[in-house]
Amino acid sequence: MRPPIEYDSRYEVLEADEADTQADLLDVLHAIADTTFRDTGQPLRSVHAKSHGLLRAELRVLPGLPSVLAQGLFAAPANLPVVMRLSTTPGDVLADSVSTPRGMALKVIGAQGPRLPGSENDATQDFVLVNATTFLNAGPKAFLAGLSMLAATTDKAPALKKMLSAALRQVERAIEKTGTDSAAVKGMGGHPATHPLGDSYYSQVPILFGPYMAKVALVPTAVGLTRLHGEPVDYGADPDVLRQAVVDYFAQQGGEWDLRVQLCTNIEEMPIEDASAEWPEALSPYVTVARVVAPPQIGWSEALSTAIDEGMSFSPWHGLAAHRPLGSVNRVRKAAYEMSSKLRGRRRGAAIVEPVSLDGLPFDLAGH
């Protein structure tokens, strides 16, 4: 592996009118939340509203990491409790046949060290991941434009959305036969009808990694999970078929993933400010720094949804200063995460606070 380069503040450059874009982004996200709250009475997230898996796991930091990898959360061997939340992207709760990209959020409890602003009194480290290597948009303005289009369709024409999604899946299949894929088609509803536990998940945008810069990936390694890669699911069987697939899997067996980092070794080819840029693995491969191990368990329940979907927020800005999110997309999302959490807290009548342990959470392990 080439030696990583150290972070320099010159690598981060404000996009033109970034503060105005951030304000507009907050307005759009607030409008999505207002729409779904008016229609459902539930304080839903503006994005990733529907969960498909709510899991208890453990992060096991590997011993003997070289100094460039032994940074922040991974500075020393440790076993730390984790909450995992598997979701899909829309802000309204749709049938799974409206097939969109999947997200996996991790909340590691017990992170020790200097904290990011706004999380000084907490002991968590969040990783917010999606099953694509890069962000759909290069910067905040393009992100805002795409989100505005999504907001216009929130809680409208669910039957039409199903029909459009089915057509877009056909388009995506044709594209994939050429050896490529289309993030735009997937994002509009053309994501293949596959099992979500077979996918790898990526931070898409970089974070600090001690003095360095990195992207993060969660890659399934348990045989039971790797066998699910590309495994089809039947959207016609159940509007919540993805959730049922997760429940069925964890009722029988556990899961294990590698948590990997890709260190920046060339700032020209691995930029910070272009969120849509692929960092070439030929320049810097993903390297395992920890493992995430989840035992057999119930996988999802209404009680877990109340505790986690309603009672927790996930943000890469919950964490250590050693893992500060980098780049313009991360900067504008900081205010968005904060606004969403406070809004949901007001509407549920109880502030959302960071957990200090898994005690009291209604995890039901299989066989217990």
Which residues lie closer than 8 Å to 70 by C-beta, 6 or more apart? 76
Q: pTM for the whole thing?
A: 0.94
**Structure-token pair, residue 78:** 């440790």
pLDDT of residue 167: 78
User: 233-288 pLDDT, tens per residue?
Assistant: 999 999 999 999 999 999 999 999 999 999 999 999 999 999 999 999 999 999 99
Q: Exposure pattern of 104-116 as b/e (b: 16+ CB <10 Å)?
A: bbbbbbbbeeebb
**H helix intervals, the chain:** 18-40, 140-152, 158-176, 183-187, 223-226, 241-252, 302-304, 328-348
pLDDT of residue 156: 67
Residues found in the chain: 368
Mean pLDDT of 188-199: 92
User: 324-356 pLDDT, tens per residue?
Assistant: 999 999 999 999 999 999 999 999 999 999 999
Q: Fill in the DSSP letter of residue 277.
A: P
DSSP code per residue over 204-251? -S-EEETTEEEEEEEEE-SHHHHTTTT-B--TTT-TTHHHHHHHHHHH
User: 1-55 pLDDT, tens per residue?
Assistant: 789 999 999 999 999 999 999 999 999 999 999 999 998 999 999 999 999 999 9
Do 265 and 3 touch, CB atoms closer than 8 A? yes
User: 67-126 pLDDT, tens per residue?
Assistant: 999 999 999 999 999 999 999 998 889 899 999 999 999 999 999 999 999 999 999 999
Mean pLDDT of 168-187: 80
The tally of CA atoms less than 13 A away on the side-chain side of residue 74 is 25
Q: How many CB atoms lie under 10 A from the CB of residue 339? A: 17
Residue 368 has pLDDT above 60, yes or no: no
Of 31, 48, 28, 27, nearest in space to 39 by CA: 31
Q: Fill in the DSSP letter of residue 139.
A: S
pLDDT of residue 83: 98
For residue 215, list its beta bridge partners.
Answer: 262
Percent of the chain residues past pLDDT 90, beyond the cut:
82
pLDDT of residue 13: 96
Percent of the chain residues past pLDDT 70, beyond the cut:
97
Distance from first CA to last CA of the chain, Å, rounded? Answer: 45
User: 113-136 pLDDT, tens per residue?
Assistant: 999 999 999 999 999 999 999 998
Do 42 and 348 touch, CB atoms closer than 8 A? no
- The C-alpha atoms of residue 88 and residue 96 are separated, in whole angstroms, by 9
pLDDT of residue 185: 79
List the domains of the chain with CATH numbers.
9-16+48-136+193-348 (2.40.180.10)
Q: Fill in the DSSP letter of residue 99.
A: B
Please give the helix or strand (H or E) that residue 78 lies within, else none.
Answer: strand 78-88
Mean pLDDT of the chain, nearest integer = 93
Residue 152 has pLDDT above 80, yes or no: no
